[in-house]
Structure 1
Amino acid sequence: MRLEASADPRDVWVERDTLENAIIAAGKSPVPYSKLHEEMRAAPGVWYGVPNKRVQD
């Protein structure tokens, strides 16, 4: 996957949720990739107006 500097953060966040959910649905554990603390996971909804669609494993 390649992201351009012009990528919309909302699209990136939704794609991240989609990929992570697919990994969990396949019975795997996603590799940690974020510095965002768990309690801050809802913040992008405020920042970008995108709901958190992340499935908890």
Structure 2
Amino acid sequence: MRPRVWVVERTFAWINKYRRCVRAYESRPDHHEAVIRIAMIGLMTRSLARI
């Protein structure tokens, strides 16, 4: 598998660990985008805290 594809699939797997991102709970696309941003902020914060 190409490395770039693997990075994208890994990121999607990390996002899907958040329960609200697994199902389509949000009715508006901008709300769903905000939830994804919150999930990624949490992931980045956790990875920075380990350093």
Q: Give TM-score, length-normalised by structure 2.
A: 0.44
Q: Give TM-score, length-normalised by structure 1.
A: 0.40
Structure (1 or 2) with the greater helix fraction: 2
Bigger relative contact order (CA 8 A; separation at least 6): 1
